[in-house]
Amino acid sequence: MGSETKFYTLAEVSQHNNAKDCWLVISGKVYDVTKFLEDHPGGDEVLISATGKDATDDFDDVGHSSSARAMLDEYYVGDIDSATIPTKTKYTPPNQPHYNQDKTSDFVIKLLQFLVPLIILGVAFGIRFYTKQSAA
């Protein structure tokens, strides 16, 4: 690394997006990984698909080893101007009206959930009792 750090915009980095010229943004730094494409264990398509955006999450999600992280130093070309990277927006689902279930139908359902098994048990007991009486 030189004493003077070069800063790149995301638009500049995004122009390097093919197998002959491939740059990535990882953790605020710009890397020219063109020479590494053929050696990458995941294939060159993985790296090429990560161009034009902040690939930090993609890099971290894979769980690269410490030696892979150290290898980045030899491909370092500069830093990214963080103002040019779009901010991540958190998804918030649209407001939907609450389902207002009728309280009486809720009561009836709970009552049936309690009574139906009792009725089945009572019928089974009655059949068992009746068959023992008639067999004796």
Q: What is the pLDDT along the chain (136 residues), one digit of tens a residue?
A: 446 889 999 999 999 999 999 999 999 999 999 999 998 988 889 999 999 889 988 898 888 888 888 999 999 999 999 888 887 767 777 777 766 656 667 788 888 999 999 999 999 999 998 888 776 6
CA distance 62 to 93: 28
Q: What end-to-end distance do the CA atoms of the chain give, in Å? A: 100
pLDDT for 99 equals: 64
* Residue 79 DSSP SS3: strand
Q: What is the pTM of this model?
A: 0.61
Going across the sheet that includes 21-26, the strands are 7-8, 76-80, 29-32, 21-26, 17-18
